Amino acid sequence: MRVMVVEDDDDLRLAISAKLAGLRVEVAQAADIATADAVLRDGHFDCVVFDRILPDGDAVTYVQRRRQEGWTVPVLFLSARDSLAERLVGFAHGGDDYLVKPFATGEMAARVLALGRRGTARSSVLRCADLEVDCARREVRRAGVLLSLTGKEFAVLEYLIARPDQVVSREELIEHCWESDSEPMSNAVDVTVKRLRAKLGGPELVSTVRQRGYRMEAPR
């Protein structure tokens, strides 16, 4: 799971990030809306934790604008504004959850994990060009034709297609697609991707980024 934490209080941002990282969540951090926007538009996230009031504005305005653009990533708002009216404003502007400060980091983490799972379920069918991956049914179709993949091939494909145009390292694929107690061969990822490419056929959707990893992208 990949989460963005947007909070201008350095101590709180670090505490939130440390709690999530301890639960094996990949965390990106930002202290203002402008920085967060640049990162959010450049990669895939399963949930975003937004402090309401940031140095460059109210996060609800940003989230409302992104929702109008079709952005669907789950959002948890954090705020010291604890009135019912303020909480309703958060939900009305596209928030999925609202947590009042001060809060226990354990509760915050539980809410983030729940939102991340909800977001995954909401977008269980992922597409790239004429490729369609139904994560719930674990079915893959290319140009409407059902493909037969092994469990590992499906796991790698699912991870890549959920991060379109993003470079994914071999280490990241091993961490998320292989069991934690297993020791895959050094070339396990390369072998799996080679077999996956053969089954997907052309035009190629999974490209190799030299010395960095792999990227899923639609043909130009």
Given 69, 89, 122, the domain boundary residue is 122
Given 75, 107, 122, the domain boundary residue is 122
Range of the domain at 200: 125-216
The mean predicted confidence, pLDDT, of the chain is: 88
pTM of the predicted model as reported, rounded to 2 decimal places: 0.57
**Cα(166)–Cα(216) distance, integer angstroms:** 7
Phi, psi values for residue 159, rounded to 5°: -65, -40
In the block, which residue shows the tokens 């379920």?
A: 121
Average pLDDT over residues 21-50: 91
In the block, which residue shows the tokens 């991870």?
A: 159
CA-atom Rg of the chain in angstroms: 19
pLDDT digits (tens, 9 = 90+) for 69-93: 778 889 999 999 888 888 898 998 8
Whether residue 87 is found in the same domain as residue 102: yes
Whether residue 94 is found in the same domain as residue 62: yes
Q: How many domains does the chain have?
A: 2
For the chain, the residue count is 220
Whether residue 80 is found in the same domain as residue 133: no
CATH, residue 10: 3.40.50.2300
What sign has the CA pseudo-torsion 148, 153, 159, 160? negative
**Cα(171)–Cα(169) distance, integer angstroms:** 5
Given 122, 145, 180, the domain boundary residue is 122
